[in-house]
C-alpha cells in the first residue's frame, strides 16, 4: 500500500487536450460551442478537463457543476447561484428587467419569483446571464456526470448550446455515454501506466510490476490508483478495490470518511463535524490525510469526493448500524441548525431521516421539501418527494396530523404535479387512487374535479378521457360552482369536436360554458377555441378567424400556455389565398 495514490504528473492525453483547446478557439472565433468528453468510469475524463481548464488564460471564467442522481438542475443550481453572487444582484436586475424573474425561485434575493412561465423563461434568463458575463471574459461551463442528469438539466444544456450568442462560451459535458462528435478517452498505454505508477511511487517501478498493473487495470488510471492503494490481488472491481484500500486507513480518518459519505458527494465542514460528532478543529488532521490520499478534494464550500466510485466505496464500507447513526446525526444537525442545509436542498433532511429509519420525521420532512421543490428544482423533484410521502404513509399512524392533510390530498397534488412534470401515465394512477378514496355522494364536486384532472391526463397520454368528463358532468349537483361546471363543459366540448363525434353537441357545450364563465378568461378562451373550430367545420371562416383571435387574446390574459396547441387541433387555420402571406393580419405575426 502507498500513501499517495494520485499521480502529481498528468500523463498522456495529448490528442484529447488538443481537441478541447481547438473547441475553445472555435467558440471564441465562431460563437458558442458544446463539446462532450466521453469514456468509461475512472478513465480520466474529469482530470483531463481539469488539466484543460488549468491551462487556459487566467482571464477565462471557469464554472463547474455536477449532476447528482437525477436531482433537477443540480449542475446549474450551484454554478448559476455562484455566478450571480459574483456579478451582484443589482447587475442581474438590470439585465433581467421586470418585476418577477423565474431565477428568483433559485435566488430569493432577486425578488418575487415567476411561476407562470415554466421552463422557457428560466432557460432564457440563464442564457441571458451567461451571454452577459461573456461580453468581457470568455466562459467555460463544465457539467460533470451527464449520465446521471435529470431531464430538465439535459434540456437546459441543449437550450444553452442552441441559443447562446456571445463568442467565447464553451460548454463542456462529461459523460460515460458514447456520443457522436465527442472527445473519446481510451485506456492508457503500458508506457503511460508506467509513468503514472512512477509518479505515484516517487521512483522508477519494477517493470514486472508495471506489466502486471497494466494488465489488471486495463489502462484505466483510476483502477491503477486503486490497485496500488489496496495492495490486494483478490478483487478486481473498482468499488471493491477502493473498499479494500479503505481498510488501510487509520480508524479516525476512516470514521470521518464514513461521515462524509453519509452526507453525499459534496460535504460542508459544519455538517461533517456534526455527523462525525466532533468539533471542526478536530477534523483538520483526518481531512488532511484524506486529501493527501486522494480520497477527498477541497472545494470553495468544503470538500468533495474525488470520484463517484470512491464515494460509493466509502458508503458501502459503513456498517449498517453505524450508517443509521450517522444519518440520524445529520438529520438532527440539520433540524437544529438549518443554516447547515445547502441552499435549495431541503430534500436532504428528508433523505437523512428516511435512512435513519425515522418514518414519521422523514414523511413530514418530505412533505415540507415537496412544497419548496417546485420553486427551486422543478416538478420532477416535487413528485419524487410526494411519492416518498405516500410510500411512508402506512408506516406513520399519525401521518395526517403530521402534515395537516389527508392522504387523498397528497394523491390529488401528485396527480396535478405529474401533469406539470409531463408524466400523464403516472398521473392517471394517482388520480385513480384518489378517486377510490373520495365518496362522490358526500363530495361530488371534488370527485368531479378529480375526474376532470384524470381526463386531462388521459388526453395528454393520447387516450380518450371523454367518459370521465361525462361522469363528472353527471355527478355535479345542481348547486355546484358555475366555474367547475363550465370547466367540465368546455373540456367536453373540446373532446366532442376533437373526436369529430358531434359538432352540434360540441357547440352546445361551448355555449353553455361561455354562459357560466362569468368573465373567467381561461374558460372563455378555451370555449371560443371550440366555437372557432365549429365555425371552421361549418365553413364560416370569417367567424372562425374572429373567434380564434379572441381566444388567443384571452389565453394571453389568463396565462393559458396550452391553448395555442389546442387552437391548432380544434380550429386549424385555413390555407392562405395565393399571393397572401399566411400570417398577414395575425396579431402574433
Angle, helices 190-201/221-230, rounded to nearest 10 degrees: 40
Q: How far apart are the first and last CA of the chain?
A: 70
CB atoms within 10 A of CB 336: 9
Specify if 583 maps to a domain. Answer: yes
pLDDT, position 487:
92
Integer Cα distance of 26 and 35 in angstroms = 11
DSSP notation for 149-216: --HHHHHHHHHHHHH---TTEEEEEEESS--TT-EE--PPPHHHHHHHHHHHHTSPPPHHHHHHHHHH
- Adjacency order of strands within the sheet including 139-144: 61-66, 139-144, 169-175, 33-38, 183-184
Is 92 domain-assigned? yes
In a domain, 260, yes or no: no
Categorize the per-residue pLDDT at 390 as very low, low, confident or very high, splitting at 50, 70 and 90: very high
**Residue 295 and residue 305 in contact, taking contact as beta carbons nearer than 8 Å:** yes
Last residue within a domain, chosen from 184, 210, 229: 184
Q: Which of 164, 184, 204 is the last residue of a domain?
A: 184
Give the pLDDT band (50/70/90) at residue 243.
Answer: confident
292 has which bridge partners? none
pLDDT tens for each residue of 162-189: 999 999 999 999 998 877 779 999 999 9
Report how far residue 426's alpha carbon sits from residue 419's, in angstroms, rounded to the nearest whole number.
Answer: 9
Domain that holds residue 45: 31-184
How far apart, in whole angstroms, are the C-alpha atoms of residue 473 and residue 490? 11
Closest CA to 452 of 439, 435, 436, 437: 435
DSSP character string of 520-575: -HHHHHHHHHHHHHHHHHTT-HHHHHHHHHHHHHHHHHHT-TTHHHHHHHHSPPPP
Task: Tally the domains of the chain.
Answer: 2
Residue 352 contacts by C-beta under 8 Å, 6 or more apart in sequence? 262, 327, 328, 330, 331, 334
In a domain, 588, yes or no: yes
In a domain, 257, yes or no: no
**Average pLDDT rounded to a whole number, residues 525-549:** 89
Find the mean pLDDT for residues 223-234.
73
**What b-and-e string marks burial along 288-325, b requiring 16 or more CB atoms within 10 Å of the CB?**
ebbeebbbbeeeeebbbbbbbbbbbbbbebbeeeebbb
Residue 498 in contact with residue 570, Cβ under 8 Å? yes
What pLDDT does residue 223 have? Answer: 85
User: pTM higher than 0.85, yes or no?
Assistant: no
- Three-state DSSP state, 312: helix
pLDDT digits (tens, 9 = 90+) for 395-413: 999 999 999 999 999 999 9
The average pLDDT across 94-105 equals 81
pLDDT tens profile 446-489: 999 999 999 999 988 888 889 999 999 999 988 888 888 999 99
Residue 86 sits in a domain of what CATH number? 3.40.50
How does pLDDT run across 496-534, given as a tens digit for each residue? 887 776 888 989 999 999 999 888 888 998 899 899 888
The residue written with cell numbers 394571453 in the block is 556
Q: Is 509 within the bounds of a domain? A: yes
Ramachandran quadrant class, 175 (left: phi over 0; alpha: psi -120 to 50; beta: rest): beta
579 pLDDT above the threshold of 50: no
Where are the alpha helices (H) located in 307-443, listed in sequence order? 308-316, 320-336, 347-355, 359-376, 379-392, 399-403, 407-421, 424-437
End of a domain among 143, 169, 184? 184
Strand partners of residue 303: 267, 298
Least confident among 9-23, 46-60, 302-316, 558-572: 558-572
Q: What is the C-alpha to C-alpha distance for residues 224 and 230, in angstroms, rounded to an integer? A: 10
CB 312 within 8 Å of CB 265: no
Task: Say if residue 281's pLDDT is above 70.
Answer: yes
Please check whether residue 303 lies inside any domain of the structure. Answer: no
- The phi, psi pair for 175, rounded to 5°, reads -150, 155
Amino acid at each position: 500500500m502507498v500513501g499517495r495514490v494520485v499521480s502529481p504528473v498528468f500523463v498522456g492525453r495529448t490528442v484529447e487536450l488538443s481537441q478541447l483547446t481547438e473547441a475553445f478557439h472555435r467558440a471564441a472565433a465562431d460563437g458558442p460551442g458544446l463539446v462532450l468528453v466521453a469514456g468509461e468510469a475512472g478513465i480520466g475524463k474529469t482530470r483531463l478537463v481539469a488539466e484543460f481548464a488549468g491551462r487556459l488564460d487566467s482571464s477565462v471564467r471557469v464554472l463547474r457543476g455536477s449532476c447528482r442522481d437525477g436531482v433537477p438542475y443540480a449542475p446549474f443550481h450551484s454554478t448559476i447561484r455562484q455566478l450571480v453572487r459574483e456579478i451582484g444582484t443589482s447587475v442581474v436586475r438590470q439585465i433581467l428587467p421586470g418585476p418577477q424573474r423565474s431565477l428568483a425561485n433559485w435566488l430569493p434575493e432577486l425578488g418575487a419569483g415567476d411561476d407562470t412561465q415554466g421552463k422557457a423563461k428560466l432557460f432564457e434568463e440563464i442564457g441571458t446571464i451567461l451571454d452577459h458575463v461573456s461580453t468581457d471574459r470568455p466562459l467555460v461551463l463544465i457539467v460533470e456526470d451527464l449520465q446521471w442528469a435529470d431531464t430538465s438539466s439535459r434540456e437546459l444544456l441543449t437550450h444553452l448550446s442552441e441559443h447562446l450568442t456571445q463568442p467565447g462560451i464553451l460548454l463542456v459535458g462529461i459523460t460515460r455515454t458514447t456520443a457522436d462528435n465527442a472527445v473519446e478517452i481510451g485506456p492508457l498505454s503500458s508506457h503511460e501506466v508506467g509513468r503514472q505508477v512512477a509518479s505515484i511511487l516517487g521512483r522508477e517501478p519494477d517493470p514486472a510490476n508495471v506489466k502486471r498493473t497494466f494488465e489488471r487495470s486495463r489502462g484505466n488510471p483510476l483502477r491503477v490508483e486503486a490497485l496500488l492503494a489496496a495492495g490486494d490481488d483478490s478483487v478486481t472491481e473498482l468499488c471493491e478495490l477502493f473498499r479494500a484500500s479503505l481498510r488501510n486507513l487509520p480508524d479516525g480518518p476512516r470514521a470521518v470518511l464514513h461521515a462524509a459519505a453519509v452526507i453525499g458527494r459534496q460535504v460542508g465542514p459544519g455538517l461533517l463535524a456534526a455527523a462525525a460528532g466532533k468539533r471542526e478543529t478536530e477534523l483538520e488532521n483526518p481531512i488532511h490525510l484524506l486529501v493527501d490520499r486522494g480520497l477527498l478534494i477541497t472545494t470553495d464550500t468544503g470538500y468533495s469526493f474525488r470520484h463517484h466510485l470512491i464515494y460509493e466505496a466509502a458508503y458501502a464500507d459503513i456498517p449498517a448500524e453505524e450508517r443509521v447513526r450517522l444519518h440520524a446525526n445529520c438529520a438532527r444537525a440539520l433540524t437544529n441548525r438549518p443554516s447547515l442545509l445547502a441552499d435549495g436542498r431541503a430534500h436532504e433532511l428528508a433523505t437523512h431521516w428516511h435512512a435513519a429509519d425515522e418514518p414519521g420525521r422523514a414523511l413530514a420532512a418530505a412533505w415540507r421539501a415537496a412544497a419548496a421543490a417546485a420553486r427551486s428544482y422543478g416538478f420532477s423533484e416535487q413528485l419524487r418527494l410526494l411519492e416518498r410521502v405516500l410510500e411512508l404513509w402506512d408506516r406513520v399512524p399519525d401521518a395526517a396530523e403530521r402534515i395537516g392533510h389527508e392522504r387523498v390530498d397528497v394523491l390529488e397534488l401528485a396527480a396535478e404535479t405529474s401533469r406539470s412534470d409531463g408524466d400523464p401515465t403516472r398521473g392517471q394512477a394517482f388520480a385513480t387512487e384518489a378517486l377510490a378514496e373520495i365518496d362522490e355522494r358526500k363530495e361530488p364536486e371534488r370527485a368531479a374535479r378529480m375526474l376532470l384532472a384524470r381526463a386531462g391526463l388521459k388526453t395528454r397520454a393520447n387516450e380518450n378521457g371523454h367518459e370521465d368528463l361525462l361522469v363528472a358532468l353527471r355527478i355535479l349537483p345542481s348547486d355546484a360552482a358555475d366555474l367547475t361546471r363550465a370547466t367540465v363543459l368546455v373540456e367536453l366540448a373540446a373532446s366532442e369536436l376533437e373526436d369529430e363525434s358531434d359538432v352540434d353537441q360540441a357547440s352546445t357545450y361551448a355555449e353553455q360554458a361561455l354562459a357560466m364563465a362569468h368573465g373567467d378568461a381561461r374558460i372563455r378562451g378555451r370555449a371560443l377555441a371550440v366555437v372557432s373550430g365549429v365555425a371552421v367545420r361549418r365553413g364560416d371562416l370569417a367567424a372562425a378567424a374572429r373567434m380564434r383571435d379572441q381566444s388567443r387574446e384571452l389565453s394571453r390574459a389568463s396565462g393559458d400556455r396550452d391553448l395555442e396547441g389546442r387552437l391548432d387541433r380544434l380550429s386549424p387555420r385555413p390555407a392562405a389565398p395565393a399571393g397572401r402571406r399566411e400570417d398577414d393580419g395575425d396579431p402574433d405575426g
